[in-house]
Amino acid sequence: MPAIPPSLFPPIQPLRQGMLKVDDLHTLYWEEVGNPKGVPVLFLHGGPGAGLSVQHRRFFDPAHYRIILFDQRGAGKSTPLGEWRHNTTQLLIEDIERLRNMFDIQKWLVFGGSWGSTLALAYGEAHQERCLGFVLRGIFLCTAREIDWFLHGVEWFYPELYDEFRNAIPEAERGDLIKAYTNRMLCDDPDRYWPAARAWSKFEGRRVFLLPQDDETSSDTLDLGVGRLESHYMANLGFFEDDQLIRNVGRIAHLPCVIVQGRYDVICPPVSAYRLHQAWPGAKLRMVPDAGHGALEPGIARELVAATEQFKRLGRFE
């Protein structure tokens, strides 16, 4: 784990936490943190499948914000772990609305990083009337071009990781890595899905930060959630039409937004943040010159906290 950036607020425990059954298969874990009478903010984690961390509560002033966090379908403490069936972007958007209604929230600030930025945009474009604004990090628009970069383009920077990732698949199947990995991970045989899930999670996890970390963050929960759900969503192009999030950004362009992007992010390269900013000129783009992808990199964490503090003071971003 990287050192915890000093810009974060102190550790805090949830006011409430629980489980919400959303269909016959999935049950979601949720938390409510901070001021129960404060400005509501929704936190959307990455992945898909990465789940929550206790550090995610710390981007917000708990005296000002009522912070709602949850593990998306198949992630973290939600059950069943790694379940890809009945798991689409449209269903996640419905889950967010269930949570909003459960907490009796009319509007909230939407905060999401990486896949969380994807889901934040998709939710906002579907329910713009429920959003106060957006804080988005490490933009991922879930296009075929970005998915190809994630799987193959990164070879230019991490050839050794790419070889390890590719070599985990028999040579005859390497022409379509996403198919080869999903065939293994989306099955019920643990002897097939565990090696693939661990290989996938390692392939991503070792390039999150600009500088190598002493200890890799890994666990069975993270590996299975990320491996299964990322491959499932990427194989289906996020359940979006072509470039849907950019084409529909006009639905939320009247709302305030800050985009925080690491200049050397090799998971979600800066071109996606730049494209989003071009389509949404009113959004504020904060390009962090000495950061990769991780939310806990010092420069990124500092900009994220600065954004929530600015929204606290002004109700907008400048």
User: Would you list the domain boundaries of the chain?
Assistant: 16-143+239-314, 144-238
Q: Among residues 78, 114, 117, 272, which one is catalytic?
A: 114
Q: Give the pLDDT confidence of 122-152 residue by residue, as tens digits.
A: 999 999 999 999 999 999 999 999 999 999 9
272 is an active site residue = no
Q: Among residues 26, 45, 277, 293, which one is catalytic?
A: 293
232 is an active site residue = no
Q: What share of the chain is helix, strand, coil (3-state, %, to 5)?
A: 45, 15, 40
- CATH tag, 16-143+239-314: 3.40.50.1820
293 is an active site residue = yes
Report residue 159: phi and psi, to 5°.
-60, -35
Q: Give the pLDDT confidence of 156-197 residue by residue, as tens digits.
A: 999 999 999 999 999 999 999 999 999 999 999 999 999 999
| Separation in Å, CA 173 to CA 166, 176, 180 | 10, 6, 6
- The single-letter DSSP state of residue 283 is S
Q: Among residues 117, 223, 265, 277, which one is catalytic?
A: 265
- The single-letter DSSP state of residue 17 is E
Q: Give the pLDDT confidence of 75-95 residue by residue, as tens digits.
A: 999 999 999 999 999 999 999
DSSP H helices, 153-219, are 159-167, 177-185, 190-205
- Give the pLDDT of residue 101: 98
- The single-letter DSSP state of residue 148 is H
d(CA 20, CA 2): 32
Question: Listing from the earlier edge strand, what are the strands of the sheet with 27-34?
Answer: 16-21, 27-34, 65-70, 39-44, 108-113, 131-137, 257-262, 284-288
Please identify every stretch of the chain with a pLDDT value under 50, giving residue numbers as ranges: none
- Give the pLDDT of residue 232: 97
Structure tokens at 218: 């890994």
What does the CA dihedral 181, 184, 185, 190 come to, rounded to 10 degrees? -150
- Give the pLDDT of residue 214: 62
d(CA 208, CA 191): 27
- Give the pLDDT of residue 178: 95
